[in-house]
Each structure stands twice: as structure tokens, then as C-alpha cells.
Structure 1
């Protein structure tokens, strides 16, 4: 399903700051060489992530789901001096590509990449995060939410991507994939959590912003 009409998307892109040269090259290489390139954040969401990072000026960021590193670069752009972004991905085959673009963006010293199962790595991280971005396997979102909650400072944020899941969440249950059902369950979980307040943005494929209030 096209959640946002192409004409609206094009108008928004026209009046959004353009990608940096590094992000343009990363975007192109992803579409040329990597499976499922639609998973890339792209200009609109990337600029949103960058602006959120600049507004918060976080010291510690956690990203669950690196893919080819586009969103990690955007999120790292607003880090405080000495800040670090930890990013986790299960696919070791893309690590070289990610590290190459982190270096080209001048962010190698600010981004620490972890390869392996996210749940295992999150448990081992002894950090307090200002911002967490969840963009990994959809059926794992609820578990990741629980794992990171105590690692986020009060007033910190979680961003969860793909919560509309290509519009499938709007279909009748009999027509929903397991991923769409997982996104609905995740949204219900967050909505029922009195420790949080949230906003579901209809940006790209649906982006939920969650603030830890207690």
C-alpha cells in the first residue's frame, strides 16, 4: 500500500535539506548491491533522525538494526562531544560497507558496531542511553522495548520504525502478515504503558516516538 501519495512525498523531499554527499553515495550503493534496499531510511526519515539527534544532543545512543549504516550516520550527527552511538546488526556481511561509510562521514570514533543477536548484545551493554532507535525484526520489538527500558534515562526517548508496516496494519486481521500483527501488538503495549507517552508519526512507514516519563 502507498500510505503517503508519491506527489506528497516528492513535495516533502523538495523542501527538506538534501542528503550529504556521503549519504547519497551510501544510498546509491545500497540500491545497487544490497537486498531489500527499501529498508534504507532515505532523505526524509534520515533528516528527521538527524534533527532529533541535534535537538537532544545525546551522549549515548543505541540503534537496533544497522542495515547499511544510513540511519546510524544520521543519528550520530548530533552527538555531544565524546558521545557514542552503539549500533547492532546480525548480518556480518554488511559490516565492511558500514564501517567504510562511517569513516567517510568522519564518524568512526563515534559509532561502535556490534554484530550478533540484538537481545544478547543489549543485555551486555552497561550504558545509560538518551535515545534508542528500534528498526530490526518486527516480531522482536516488544522484547527489545522491555530490554532497553531500564537502560534509558528518565526523559529519554525511543524511536520505533515501521509501525504501520507498509499499510498492512490498516487491513483486516485476516489479511495482515505476522509482522503487521507484531506492530499492532507493539503499539498496544506502548499505549498501555503508564511509564511512557508516545506519538505515532505518519512519516514514511510509520515512526513512533516514545518518551520515558518514569
Structure 2
């Protein structure tokens, strides 16, 4: 486990740098917002951006906006007619998000919704090419079920925090409720023959799922 900080530092060194705007958002989040570890950050943000560029999705759904860092990264790969819908329950961060969306140049492509993810998601009349789940961990299983019919065949889901700070590797009696929720989610996806998946050990773990 002692190797992990060194590996992360090595990964950051050889990953393309954050844009000045994302660097500023990263710093402001850490200085002014509670729970800054929720930010995707440099390496994961660049990974999300790369995935978006590879897929060129027309429609993206993000569950869990936080301060907007990941939304900006995902929006980078949208085509001219592309749209990203991002949902968060915390209205106090809405102004900060819109400030950075405007500065990024993607404001016309990012539609932010404030409310409960399950309720907002079901109201959206869209078929999505890419979904990023980074909301409350206890809700992942439910979100997976809700989003499945809104995901086009061949579409992808990225589910964040599936390693949950390494707690998923601890004995069951030492796992917190969030870690147990992540294991339940991973087990559900593993048992779903409509999907194929790979668990990536980027940052806090990302489960990459493809709808067959």
C-alpha cells in the first residue's frame, strides 16, 4: 500500500497537464468547498476526457456534478450537436458550476439539473451514448436499473469510486456501508449478461460497462 502515492505521482507526471481553467477549479474546490476529495482531479479527469474524445458521444448523462470538473472533461469530446445532462442535488454549488461552464466554452452543451438523480433522470427524454455515475453510493444499483433503458446498445457506463478508498478489500465485518454498496453494485453488473465490464484501478476505481 505504501507504493500507491508514488504510483499516483508517477501517473500525474506522465499525464497531460490540466488546462489552466481546470487547475483553477481544482484549487478553488479544495480551498472553498466541503469534501474536495469528491473532485475527479487531474488523472481521472484526463481519462474521462480521453473516453469522450474516443466515443464522440452525442448525449452524455452525468449523475453527480459536484463542482463541474468532470462535466467539463466529458464535454470536451462532444460533437457540435452534442449535449451533456448533469444532475446534482446540491443547489449551493450551482452558481460555481455555471461560472466554470461558461469559462470552459461548453456552457451551451451542458445542461445542469438540480434535484434527486432518480427523479430527474426519468424525466429526461433522451437516449444516451455515455453515462458517468458518481452520485450517492447507496443509489448505484437503482441508478443502473433506471439508466439501462436510456442507454443505447453499444453505449457505455462509467461508475466511479467502486474501490471506495480500498475498503472493498477489507473483511466484510470491517467494511462501511458505502463499500458494501459498491460491492453489491459490482456483483449486480457481474451477474448481468446484458453487459460486459472491466474494473479500472484509476484513482478510486472506475467500473467501465458496455451495453451489449
TM over 0.5: yes
| Map of 2:185 onto structure 1 | 186
Whether the 8 Å contact between 1:3 and 1:167 is mirrored in structure 2 is: no
CA-based RMSD: 0.9
CA distance in 1, matches of 2:121, 2:75: 19
Is 1:93 matched up with 2:111? no
Q: TM-score, normalised by structure 1?
A: 0.98
CA distance in 2, matches of 1:157, 1:123: 18
> Displacement, 1:82?
1.0
Q: Structure 1 runs of 4+ off > 6 angstroms?
A: none
* Distance change in 2, residues 1:75/1:25 (3 Å): same
CA distance in 2, matches of 1:141, 1:185: 9
Q: TM-score, normalised by structure 2?
A: 0.99
Unaligned runs of 5+ in 1: none
> Displacement, 1:201?
0.3
> Displacement, 1:80?
1.1
Alignment of 1:32-181 (within 5 A): 32-181=31-180
CA distance in 1, matches of 2:169, 2:4: 16
Whether the 8 Å contact between 1:89 and 1:117 is mirrored in structure 2 is: yes
Paired residues, number: 212
Unaligned runs of 5+ in 2: none
> Displacement, 1:3?
8.5
